Amino acid sequence: MSEEPQKVVKVKLLGPRKLTKEQMESPSPRSFWPLALAVTIFIACVGLLIHPIIFFFGVLLMLGSITGWLLERRSYLR
């Protein structure tokens, strides 16, 4: 049995990039940032009920989670 050569697909995302068919069909890499964002939203909501300092701490962590997630996506597209 002979293997077929892999088909290369050219895609322009912030410049020329060659991807194989398997890379095009595979899901994006898994990230922990959505879970981190969910946890920080929970902390901020609990902070609304308990104490304003916990709320502001949750908001700061939430901004950090959003920033981390956006920077990760940006580096994946390069």
**What ranges do the domains of the chain cover?**
8-77
Q: What is the pLDDT of residues 22-52, one digit of tens each?
A: 655 555 667 889 999 999 999 999 999 999 9
Spatial distance between the Cα atoms of 4 and 60, rounded to a whole number of angstroms: 52
Query: Is the CATH code 1.10.287 the one for domain 8-77?
Result: yes
- Would the CA dihedral through 13, 17, 21, 26 be positive or negative? negative
pLDDT at residue number 72: 80
SS (H, E, C) 41-65: HHHHHHHHHHCHHHHHHHHHHHHHH
Q: Tell me: pLDDT of 70 over 90.
A: no
Task: Name the amino acid, one letter, at 42.
Answer: F
- The overall average pLDDT reported for the chain is 79
Spatial distance between the Cα atoms of 54 and 45, rounded to a whole number of angstroms: 9
pLDDT at residue number 35: 93
